[in-house]
Amino acid sequence: MSLSYWLSSPVTTFGNRQTPVLNLAGHCNPSTGGCKSLSTDIHACQAKGIKVLLSLGGGIGSYTLSSPSDAQNVAQYLWNNYLGGTSKDRPFGSAVLDGIDLDIELGGTSYYDVLAKNLSSYSSKGRKVYISAAPQCPYPDQHLGQALSTGLFNYVWVQFYNNPPCQYRSGDITKLINSWNTWTGKVKATKIFMGLPANSTAAGSGYIPPITLKNQVLPRVKKSSKYGGIMLWNRYFDVLNKYSDQVKSVVA
């Protein structure tokens, strides 16, 4: 499968005057500079046209935005340490990431629109800052609804799983397609991706058998001009199930 976007593991602590903390799940230790070696891999991906974004949030962690100035400070920190800024202590060394992804599932719901606006403002400094989001499929998303209304997001990977009202269920694609049509019709984003579990054990519910995705779902969702592809959770489960190998011929 052609990989166009890669999201690094999330910053799981930020906001409310906390110094953002990068969590790479044991692959390297950013506090000792151990993640700078990843700069070679990041450069290699970017040389192939793959956009590399840093994800904020996730299902665990300690994060929230307490005020507009807090959101501005977080944006400034991300710019200086991961994007085009000039901090001396950059966790990924010389690598300059392409943008920021918001996977907000915890904490408060305010000021993410301010964060998006501040991140977007850095695009004027000669390098585009891509902004993406990974909302849950109930519309509007509890945490990101206001941010998405800004129209500043380039990519939105909607999580169509663990949410029975808007996901695939036992051979029935009705709720899934209705939700997809809502997202593509109402969200001002360049491209919208269908987020799915790559294995029946990758999520509590919402798994779509590859044959069903190919024959029933994709022919419907690809009619939208905003269709960008699919997002799989996650690479570990994809390797086990070879899901992407089974559907790659019809995703594009």
- The DSSP annotation for 153-186 comes to -SEEEEE-SS-GGGS-BTTB-HHHHHHHHHHHHH
Question: What is the C-alpha to C-alpha distance for residues 52 and 132, in angstroms, rounded to an integer?
Answer: 11
CB 207 within 8 A of CB 197: yes
**181 with 194: CB under 8 angstroms?**
no
Distance CA 116, CA 143 (A): 13
The residue type at 202? A
Q: Whole-angstrom Cα distance, residue 75 to residue 239?
A: 34
Active site residue 105: yes
Backbone angles phi, psi at 209, to 5 degrees: -55, 140
The active-site residue, picked from 70, 101, 103, 105, is 105
Catalytic residues: 105
